Amino acid sequence: MKRRNLIKGLGILPFSGSLLSKAASLNKSAEPPVTPKRDFFKELGVTPVINAGVTMTFLSGSLMAPETLEAINSTSHDFANMYELQDKVGAKIAEMLHVEAAMVTSGAACAMLLGTAACITGTDAEKIKMLPNLPGPRPEVIMQKTHRYLFDQAVSTTGAKIIEVTGPAEMEQAINKNTVMALFFNAAGSSSITHEDFVRIAKKHNIPTFLDAAADVPPVENLFKFQKIGFDLVTFSGGKMIHGPQSAGLLFGRKDLITAARLNHSPHEAPIGRPMKVNKEEMFGMYAALKAYLERDHKKEWEDWLQRAKRIGTKLETVSTVKTKTVVDPGPANAFPSLFVDWDESKVKIKAEEVLKQLKDGTPSIVANRREGTLVVGVVLLRPDQIDVVANRVKTILQKAATA
Ligand SMILES: *Cc1c(COP(=O)(O)O)cnc(C)c1O
C-alpha cells in the first residue's frame, strides 16, 4: 500500500472502528458470554444449568435481558432516595401500561401480599402497624374454588381468610362487611365465573379485584388486557418471560391502592412488606426490562423460537423412529412453543424419564421436561449457542439407546 493510501486508511479507522465495536457490543446479547476473569460458579463449585424447560423459581427464573443488566450495572455506583425512585419508576411504568399507578415489588408473590395488605389497611397508619394481627373478625378475600393454588398463601400471610365460591351467585352471596378483596388466578385450569362477571359483581359491592397473571406473557397484549376489563390491581412476575430480575415484579392499577401498598412496603421500616425489600438496581432493572419487552419485535422472537424447535427436531429425527412436533402451550401461562419428542421404545430402548436424568447428570447439566412418556424440550430460554448443545446431547442419548 502506498503511504498516502495508508494515511487515508488510518484517517477513517477511528470512525469505522468505533462503529464496528458498537455493532459488536449490540450483538453481544446473542452470543455466549466471554469467559469471565473470575468464574464464580467454579469458585463455589456451583453447576451452571442449561434451561431447556420453562421459567422456574428454583432454576433462577429467566436470564435477564441485556437492557436489564445494563440498568443494574450502570446505576449501582450512586445512591438514590428509594421513595423518589419508586415514585419515578412507578409513574413511568404506569404510563407504559396505561394505568393510574404502579410499583416494583420483590416478585408477583410479594405483589399479592402487598395488594391484599393495601385492601385491608388503606392508608390507616394504625392498621398498617398492626398487620397481620388486626383486632376483630379476619378480613376475607374471595376466590373461586378452582382458583385455589400454592401462591394464595401470600394472601393469607396478611391474616386474611380465603372464602371459596363457585359461580356468580355464590360470589355475590359471599360478599359481606369483612370482604376486602376478590382474587382471580388468571392461569387457573377452569373458572366458574368469567373475568367480566367477576369484576362486575365486585364493583357492584365496591370490592377491589386483584388479578394474578404472573407468568402470562407472551402475548405482550396481556400486559394491557386485564386493567381494561376493570381489574383494580394486576401483577406480573419480573423473573419470567419479561426477563427482568427474578427478585422483582410489577404491581399496577388503582392509584389509591398502590399508595396503600407502598405504605405496607420497604423502605418504610415496620410494615408487613418490609422483609420483601426491593433495591435500587432491581427497580431500574425492572423498568428497563419492561421497556425492552414492550419494544421487542415479538413476531421475530416467535419466529426464532419456531426455528429453534425445527433445528433441534431435524437433528433428533435422524435417529430411527424418533418423531418430533412443535407444540404451542395454550396458556395463559407459558404460552410459547416447545418441542415434543417421541420414539418407538421397542427400537430406542429408553424412557423419557431416563433421558431427563442423563441430561441433568451430564456436563453441561441440562434441564428439560416431559409430559407422560413424551420428552419436552423447551427452546425459549436457551442462549443461541446452547441450541445445538441441547440438540446434540439429546441425539447422542437417543442414538445410544437405539443401538443398545
Ligand atoms: C411465578 C408465579 C408467581 C410468583 O411470582 P414471583 O415473581 O416468583 O414471586 C405467582 N403466581 C403465579 C401464577 C406464578 O406463575
Regarding whether 333 and 368 lie in a shared domain, the answer is: yes
Asked whether residue 73 is assigned to any structural domain, the reply reads no
Let me know if residue 40 belongs to a domain: yes
User: Cα(295) to centroid of ligand 1, in Å?
Assistant: 23
Nearest alpha carbon, ligand 1 atom 8 = 107
Domain boundary among the residues 252, 270, 295 is at 295
Residues 166, 223, single domain; the answer is: yes
Q: What angle do CA 210, 138, 129 make, to 5 degrees?
A: 80
Strand, helix or coil at 175? Answer: coil
- Cell representation of residue 100: 393510574
Which of 255, 274, 295 marks a domain boundary?
295
Q: Which secondary-structure segment (H or E) carries 210?
A: strand 209-212
Q: What is the DSSP string of 88-141?
A: HHHHHHHHHHTSSEEEEESSHHHHHHHHHHHHHHTT-HHHHHHTT--SSSPPEE
136 and 283 belong to one structural domain: yes
Query: Are 92 and 225 part of one and the same domain?
Result: yes
Q: Is 208 in the pocket of ligand 1 (CB under 6 A)?
A: no
The protein residue whose alpha carbon is closest to atom 2 in ligand 1 is: 214
Q: Whose CA is nearest to atom 14 of ligand 1?
A: 214
Q: Which one of 57, 143, 146, 149 would you pick to mutate in the ligand 1 pocket, going by the greatest count of ligand atoms within 8 A of its CB?
A: 57
> Omega before 219 cis (within 30°)?
yes
Ligand 1 within 6 A of CB of 212: yes
244 and 285 part of one domain: yes
CATH code, domain carrying 95: 3.40.640.10
Whether residues 56 and 22 share a domain: the answer is yes
Per-residue pLDDT, 404 = 74
Cβ(235) to ligand 1 under 6 A? Answer: no
Q: Do 302 and 290 belong to one domain?
A: no
Q: Does the C-beta of 282 come closer than 6 Å to ligand 1?
A: no
Which residue range forms the structural domain that includes residue 371? 6-63+298-402
User: Which residue blocks in 150-279 are alpha helix, DSSP H?
Assistant: 153-156, 167-174, 195-204, 222-229, 255-263
Is 68 a member of any domain?
no
The residue whose CA is least distant from atom 5 of ligand 1 is: 108
Q: Which three cell numbers stand for residue 170?
A: 355464590
CB hemisphere CA count around 330 (13 angstroms): 3
Which residue among 226, 260, 295 closes a domain?
295
Q: Total domain count for the chain?
A: 2
Query: Which atom of ligand 1 lies nearest, measured to the CA of 187?
Result: 13
With a 6 Å cutoff on the Cβ, whether 214 touches ligand 1 is yes
| Span between the terminal Cα atoms of the chain, in Å | 62
Do 21 and 46 belong together in one domain?
A: yes
Cα–ligand 1 centroid distance for 34 (angstroms)? 32
Check residue 10 and give its pLDDT. 38
User: Can you give the pLDDT at residue 26?
Assistant: 42
Instruction: Work out which ligand 1 atom sits closest to the CA atom of 249.
Output: 7
Say if 337 falls within a structural domain. Answer: yes
Q: What is the CATH number of the domain that holds 330?
A: 3.90.1150.180
Query: Quick one: which atom of ligand 1 is closest to the CA of 186?
Result: 13
Ligand 1 pocket, 187 CB below 6 A?
A: yes
Ligand 1 touching residue 109 (CB < 6 A) = yes
Cβ(54) – ligand 1 distance below 6 Å: no
Q: What is the pLDDT of residue 30?
A: 52
Cα 285 from Cα 91, distance rounded (Å): 15
In tens digits, the chain (404 residues) has pLDDT values of: 344 444 333 333 333 333 333 333 444 455 566 677 899 999 999 999 999 999 999 999 999 999 999 999 999 999 999 999 999 999 999 999 999 999 999 999 999 999 999 999 999 999 999 999 999 999 999 999 999 999 999 999 999 999 999 999 999 999 999 999 999 999 999 999 999 999 999 999 999 999 999 999 999 999 999 999 999 999 999 999 999 999 999 999 999 999 999 999 999 999 999 999 999 999 999 999 999 999 999 999 999 999 999 999 999 999 999 999 999 999 999 999 999 999 999 999 999 999 999 999 999 999 999 999 999 999 999 999 999 999 999 999 999 999 87
